[in-house]
Amino acid sequence: MERKIRVLLAKPGLDGHDRGVKVIAAAMRDAGLEVIYLGLRQTPEMVVEAAVQEDVDAIGLSILSGAHMTLFPQTVELLKQKGAGRIILFGGGIIPQEDMDKLEKMGVGKLFGPGTTTGEIIEYIKSATRGRRKEEAIF
């Protein structure tokens, strides 16, 4: 059976603006992805715990609060600690270009700003997750 791409979406930190992330969740569902939405006020610990349990291919964080330079690096670090570094971490929000560059150097995937189409994000997820998952020996 064809493997479905599973994506976890969340809004970490103190930020209640969830219209955007919900639009993206709906677009992903319509593109045939399985989207697990965690909701508001998540900590990086909550996000990574859920991502491990749900065995997702990618995590998308929507951050409009300005706390991106804290929340993204923490999540990257936790993913590494849990041995889940293969999970793509991407995001969206109001993030200045220079911060985007810094974050990408730290191992964060693509970050999308205002004006991005849902199609671009979905294309990115599909190509970034392709072949990322290494089949581990079960027996």
The binding site for another protein (CB under 8 A) comprises 1, 3-4, 25-26, 28-39, 43, 45-46, 49-50, 52-55, 82-84, 136-139
CB 92 within 8 A of CB 62: yes
**Smallest distance from the beta carbon of 120 to another protein, in angstroms?**
17
- Would you say 6 or 102 has its CB closer to another protein? 6
Give the nearest distance from C-beta 62 to another protein in angstroms: 14
Question: What are the start-end ranges of the E strands in the chain?
Answer: 6-10, 34-37, 58-63, 88-93, 111-112
Token reading at 72: 């993204």
Three-state DSSP state, 38: coil
Tell me how far, at minimum, the Cβ of 11 lies from another protein, in Å: 11
